[in-house]
């Protein structure tokens, strides 16, 4: 009988990482029911939505209950009131001009970065970071742009851009050509950022090699250093080569509410098989019109409120709170004699484990000796071996307590 399923799904290993962590913690709790566990593992926010956002939600809900202000299906691309607000605050304020039709509101960057590859041919060669946010990888495996997973933990046919301390987590250009490049800054999981020069290098590469950059900037609100670009369009010529993704999830605590956006500039065009230039903006518009029915009116009003005068103050307070946690983790680990990366312009700390310690085994070590949970770096790719990710999204007192326990830990 003919196979009717997409066999590429069979190439994916199960996504065991967070399930594995949960199992470990559950097993530990079963043996130690009174253990006081501190979770610095999963990258979800903990602070509730801010007052401006909640007020906007209430107001929009009331509007939906009256005939004169009720809204049914909205534009798939997002309401103009939100798109205009995004352009004003995220782009015009940085000297970047965008047209309404270049911004696409969505229910999350995860869906956007996963679906964007549908615009490209199956034969495109793909480059992703190692370590990496797994969605870029898995979506391309599902689409059939890779071979099988090798014993070295890497898929055949994919270009891995190694991000290690020796290159300052800024990957070198690939030695063989690629057409789809995924860059993430501030980076999950390493917590590091790409400088203006690094991004310029990639924009130039993309231009010279007919490549397109998928620039995931879901954590741009955490950038504190004014020299670090918050948008790839701060780089000259980037509109011809890059699609940018941003999200309200980590900026404003929308992980449960769901709202994000991506920018597909009109300048971004690539040849079709008849030798005609096609606009990726028009293609994405077609994609969204067919595959997506828009973010709810209520949620888009809440996202708009993030940029109100009070809203901006409130979210900055939350970002500052998390970044103070990042400082506590970073400095605490350094003081305890460890080497750490990230955590200065991102809510993640990438902890280099003492020589020879396996990052999966360290999950047990940390749990047993400190009752602290983090994420083994190897779960994000082979280059994550020997590293451990801690997040700054926790409660202040618990973060302080975790670092206190870690400082007293003796690793044999």
> Which residues of the shown chain bind ligand PLP in the complex (CB under 6 A)?
43, 108-110, 113, 133, 184, 188, 216, 218, 247, 249, 255, 260
| Nearest-approach distance from CB 249 to ligand PLP, in angstroms | 3
216 versus 244: smaller Cβ distance to ligand PLP: 216
203 versus 260: smaller Cβ distance to ligand PLP: 260
Cβ atoms within 10 Å, residue 390? 32
| Nearest-approach distance from CB 147 to ligand PLP, in angstroms | 25
Cβ atoms within 10 Å, residue 84? 14
- The structure tokens 């940085």 sit at 94
Please report, for residues 18, 50, 133, the alpha-carbon distance to residue 47 in angstroms, rounded to integers and kept in the order given: 21, 8, 23
348 versus 362: smaller Cβ distance to ligand PLP: 348
86 versus 370: smaller Cβ distance to ligand PLP: 86
189 versus 386: smaller Cβ distance to ligand PLP: 189
The DSSP line for 238-304 is GGGTEEEEEEHHHHHSTTTT--EEEE--TT-EEE-TTS-EEEHHHHHHHHHHHH-----HHHHHHHH
Q: Exposed, middle or buried: residue 13 (CB in 10 Å: 0-12, 13-18, 19+)?
A: exposed
| Nearest-approach distance from CB 55 to ligand PLP, in angstroms | 23
Coil, helix or strand at residue 155 = strand
| Nearest-approach distance from CB 109 to ligand PLP, in angstroms | 4
| Nearest-approach distance from CB 184 to ligand PLP, in angstroms | 5
Cβ atoms within 10 Å, residue 240? 14
Tell which residue, 229, 230, 235, 237, has the closest CA to residue 267.
237
**Residue of minimal CB distance from ligand PLP?**
108
| Nearest-approach distance from CB 16 to ligand PLP, in angstroms | 18
332 versus 342: smaller Cβ distance to ligand PLP: 342
Reported as half-sphere exposure (CB side, CA atoms, 13 A), residue 356 has a value of 2
């Amino acid at each position: 009988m003919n196979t009717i399923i997409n066999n590429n799904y069979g190439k994916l290993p199960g996504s065991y990482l967070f399930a594995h962590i949960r199992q470990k913690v559950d097993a530990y709790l079963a043996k130690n029911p009174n253990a006081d566990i501190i979770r610095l593992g999963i990258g979800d926010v903990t602070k509730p939505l801010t007052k401006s956002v909640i007020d906007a939600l209430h107001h929009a809900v009331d509007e939906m209950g009256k005939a004169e202000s009720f809204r049914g299906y909205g534009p798939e691309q997002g309401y103009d009131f939100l798109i205009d607000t995004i352009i004003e605050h995220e782009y015009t304020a940085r000297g970047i001009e965008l047209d309404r039709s270049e911004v696409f509101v969505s229910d999350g960057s995860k869906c956007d970065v996963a679906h964007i590859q549908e615009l490209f041919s199956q034969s495109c060669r793909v480059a992703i970071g190692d370590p990496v946010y797994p969605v870029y990888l898995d979506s391309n495996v599902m689409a059939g742009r890779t071979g099988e997973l090798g014993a070295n933990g890497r898929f055949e046919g994919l270009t891995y851009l190694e991000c290690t301390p020796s290159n300052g987590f800024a990957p070198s250009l690939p030695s063989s050509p690629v057409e789809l490049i995924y860059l993430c800054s501030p980076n999950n999981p390493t917590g590091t950022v790409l400088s203006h020069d690094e991004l310029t290098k990639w924009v130039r590469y993309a231009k010279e090699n007919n490549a397109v950059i998928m620039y995931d900037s879901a954590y741009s609100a955490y950038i504190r250093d004014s020299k670090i670009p918050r948008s790839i369009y701060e780089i000259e010529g980037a509109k011809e080569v890059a699609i940018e993704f941003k999200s309200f999830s980590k900026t404003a605590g929308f992980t449960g509410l769901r709202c994000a956006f991506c920018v597909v500039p009109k300048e971004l065009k690539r040849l079709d098989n008849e030798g005609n230039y096609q606009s990726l903006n028009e293609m994405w518009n077609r994609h969204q019109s067919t595959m997506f029915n828009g973010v709810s009116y209520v949620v888009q009003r809440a996202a708009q409120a993030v940029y109100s005068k009070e809203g901006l103050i409130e979210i900055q307070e939350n970002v500052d709170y998390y970044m103070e946690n990042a400082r506590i983790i970073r400095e605490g680990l350094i003081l305890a004699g460890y080497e750490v990366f990230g955590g200065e312009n991102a809510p993640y700390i990438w902890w280099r484990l003492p020589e020879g310690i396996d990052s999966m085994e360290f999950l047990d070590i940390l749990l047993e000796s400190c009752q602290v949970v983090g994420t083994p770096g190897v779960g994000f790719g082979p280059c994550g071996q020997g590293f451990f990710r801690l997040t700054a999204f926790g409660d202040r007192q618990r973060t302080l307590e975790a670092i206190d326990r870690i400082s007293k830990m003796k690793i044999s």
